[in-house]
Amino acid sequence: MHIIETGNVAAATGVKLARAQVVAAYPITPQTPLTEKLSEFVESGKMEAQYIPVESEHSALSVCIAAASTGARAFTATSSNGLLYMSEQVHWAAGARLPIVMCVANRAVGAPWNIWNDQQDSISQRDAGWIQMYASDHQHIIDKVIQAFYLAEKMKIPVMVCYDGYLLSHTYMPFEIPDEAMVDSFLPPFSPDYALDPGDPQNLNTVTLPDVRENIHGDLAPGYMEIRRSLHEDMRCAIVELGEIDKKYYEIFGRGGSPYVEAYKCDDASFIAVCLGSLSYHLRDVVDALRVEGIKMGVSGIQIYRPFPDQALVDVLKSAKGVIVLEKAISYGNQGALFADVKAALYPVKERPFVHNYILGLGGREIKTIDLYNALKDSCTASEAKVDTPRWIGLKL
């Protein structure tokens, strides 16, 4: 069934179809309509779940941690300072290997206070141990939410599904709602390997010493460092697993096929723009305009940022003369975080393309098509290709 609705409704519908059993809700713009829609689903009987209003974002993720620890499929959503307020529990959920799914409607971080879109919130949490997926439109949102539950439960790693606040959360776009029975055939019920049970008391996530030691059964148990290595290695394995999940999803629903990088006109491109989120679709108009002028430009939208899809990205970029990374966040005192990751991925390539970095759209600053056009054209025709300092699009002063 096709409908025209907001990105928040697309996300809520995906959560309903995934049969989440516990929803922890705390309002923060621009994700509030998502949890409001879930409350409607639960109240009307369309969704069988415990809907738990809480007093803070920290509490919201705490509820999900408790629910997932008992074997329930748990969901929450947040934005901006709300994500930062739950940061302690963000790290805890990953370290505890709990398959929670959380939508992040990307929004600027205060101070100064700002409710508009950029991606500084989720980018600031990129090293917390969560898988991060980024959606470019409403169809991506609903499909990625469903896939996120599968991936989280398969890898025992929590997943953020990130999408641009307002640009996607509040705009109306057409998207297809997957058939409920088909989603059930794709996503099996959550069956954890272990869960808290009053009939079988256990201690979970107790104080772990620096070194390995024997457990109560006399078996050598990992220390803190081994546990962290395990999370890292499983994150890397999640890249392969996502490919398999995407393949299965495509076979059932006919959508997907680009789980890591969604490329547009990159096969013959001399220059390729790289970004996260809805900007990749905005850039398609710029690519088409530049091609009219004879500049072979393409655009690649990163679909999963953590774990970083380095090999898939290199496969797209390695034959280009230049790569232009555009991002709505910055690693203060260094450069764009995505820019640094792209450069690192390309380092082993013998004939590396040059890589430029543009920062734009912070705090909801308007991203004009003409400014994108001028920036990309300048990078493609610049006499000095090796520029490591981030450039800024849209500055007024």
Q: What is the DSSP string of 229-272?
A: HHHHHHHHHHHHHHHHHHHHHHHHHS--S-SSEEEES-TT-SEE
Three-class DSSP category at 198: coil
pLDDT tens digits, 223-281: 999 999 999 999 999 999 999 999 999 999 999 999 999 999 999 999 999 999 999 99
What 182-188 contacts at long range (C-beta under 8 Å, 24+ apart), as own/partner pairs, is 182/252, 182/253, 183/17, 183/18, 183/146, 184/19, 185/252, 186/146, 186/150, 186/248, 186/249, 186/252, 186/253, 187/18, 187/19, 187/146, 187/149, 187/150
Q: Are domains 2-186 and 261-392 of this chain identical in fold?
A: yes
pLDDT for residue 110 is more than 70: yes
Q: 């090796």: which residue's tokens?
A: 386
CA distances from 387 to 374, 382, 384 (A): 17, 10, 7
Domain limits of the chain? 2-186, 261-392
pLDDT tens per residue, range 40-99: 999 999 999 999 999 999 999 999 999 999 999 999 999 999 999 999 999 999 999 999
Residues 6 or more apart from 129 whose CB is under 8 A from it?
91, 94, 95, 157, 158, 231, 235
Give the count of beta carbons closer than 10 Å to the beta carbon of residue 204.
Answer: 11
Please tell me the predicted confidence (pLDDT) of residue 197. 84
Region 2-186: CATH code: 3.40.50.970
- Choosing among 3.40.50.920, 3.30.1330.60, 3.90.550.10, 3.50.70.10, the CATH entry for 261-392 is 3.40.50.920
Q: Residue 384: is its pLDDT beyond 70?
A: no
